[in-house]
Amino acid sequence: MIGRRTLFGAATASVALGTMLRQQFAEAAETMRAVGGFTPRGADGRLARMATLDLESQQDFTLGFRLMQSKAIRAASMEAFDKVLARKGIDPATPVTVEEMLAMVEGEPSIHIGQRTWLSNQQVTWKTLQDHFHAHADEYLSEMEAADKAGPGSLELNPQMDIPDYARHEIHIQPGGYVGDPFAGHIYHYGTNSFYISVLGHNEQDQIQKATAARFPIPEDGKVKRILDMGCGVGQMTVALKERFPDAEVWGIDVGGPMVRYSHMRDRRLGVGVNFAQRLAEDTKFPDNYFDIVISYIIHHELPAEKTRAVIAEAHRVTRPGGVYYPLDFNNGGVKSPARPMYGRWMDHRWNNEVWSLEYHSLDFTAEIAKRGFTMVKNAKAALPGFGARHAIKA
């Protein structure tokens, strides 16, 4: 049996230890803030751990739920979809339009349960992240301010930029989108970890971007002095390219000021040395023939067709003769496809706020590139398996 003195002595020691640890935690957090970092729980490799165990647990739950949804719940919804098609005598392989697909699923709630659970989980993921970063705004703003003018690399913000209407919507239903919340980069980075794990696999260490960057083709003459990432988001691909080509001048541009600000802060923490700027992909401000490689990573389905054409023209202008243009994005589906993939495409458009995705799929993206002065490489290899391979060379 434990004696009373032993019990209370242990309790007293425990309280003292707890007080000491809290003091050390506060001192460590203050030191990190002073040097431009708010990572009181350290980092897991490249990923700064979330500042509280509660937030980390919440995100772990939403990630696990998303995995369950993407496997079991979605499978049940698609099984219900197949039963509806069979009952109506529709061949699952028959290409249909959006309107025809919607007529098929009207009044079939068993199909929609997968999308409803996905949507609710997405909303919880964003809300818990946004609530945390806004509750600790001073710390996170101080961290970004400390990094803004520090190297390696550089940051250019344009607070007076006239943000185009097409960029103002809340992509992926992320609150504030990429331009309307000062912590858009933070929210996007942590939120998209669950996007990746449910489709492509773990990405906490930028595994997807690093593997993709390693597959991007280079000019035939082997010269890679300057690289541009158009629509860089939080800079994971941009950083991966700089790590592959450490001696190159690498730029990442994005319309979202909060996105490039976060990108620069994270790049500084990693010590890589990318240049980030808040600029438009259709108006980069770079000189003619400046870059050896110009890439983009899954941005064109977020653009109206007219802007996609303008971005391709701008890419042609800034790519040097013999240089490579590789805009990575989804395979185009056309205006018709079998009912199940068409359903997924429409739900993504309607409920995930992919405003321009249907317009993107109606566009022959590869042909648009070829029309604007590029020579397309035949049988090009996909830098990201499952996505479109569009390897273009400027004559």
**Structural tokens at position 230:** 């158009």
The answer to the question of residue 12 being in a domain is no
Q: What is the mean pLDDT of each run of 10 residues along the chain (395 residues)?
A: 39 45 44 51 92 94 93 93 94 96 92 92 97 96 95 96 96 97 98 90 96 98 98 98 98 98 97 98 98 98 97 98 98 92 94 95 96 96 96 97
Whether residue 192 contacts residue 233, with contact meaning beta carbons closer than 8 Å, is answered with no
What CATH number is given to the structural domain containing 386?
Answer: 3.40.50.150
pLDDT of residue 22: 47
Residues 288, 286: Cα–Cα separation, whole Å:
7
- What is the pLDDT of the chain when averaged over all its residues? 91
The answer as to whether 57 is a domain residue is no
Q: What is the pLDDT of residue 39?
A: 72
pLDDT digits (tens, 9 = 90+) for 356-390: 999 999 999 999 999 999 999 999 999 999 999 99
Residue 350 in any domain: the answer is no
Q: Which two tokens stand for residue 152?
A: 């390696």
| Enclosing domain of residue 223 | 204-336+357-394
pLDDT for 75 equals: 92
- Closest alpha carbon to 333 in 325, 324, 342: 342
Q: What is the pTM of this model?
A: 0.89
Residue 169 lies in a domain: no
pLDDT given at position 198 = 87
Backbone angles phi, psi at 224, to 5 degrees: -135, 85
pLDDT tens, 223-272? 999 999 999 999 999 999 999 999 999 999 999 999 999 999 999 999 99
Residue 163 lies in a domain: no
Please indicate, yes or no, if residue 301 is contained in any of the structural domains.
yes
What confidence score (pLDDT) does residue 392 get? 98
How far apart, in Å, are the Cα atoms of 24 and each of 21, 33, 42, 121, 235? 5, 14, 13, 36, 33
DSSP string, 50-104: PSSHHHHHHHHHHHHHHHHIIIIIHHHHHHHHHHHHHHTT--TTSEE-HHHHHHH
In three-state secondary structure terms, 238 is helix
Domain-embedded: residue 322:
yes
State the amino acid at position 167 in one-letter form: A
- Number of domains observed in the structure of the chain: 1
In a domain, 330, yes or no: yes
pLDDT of residue 14: 40
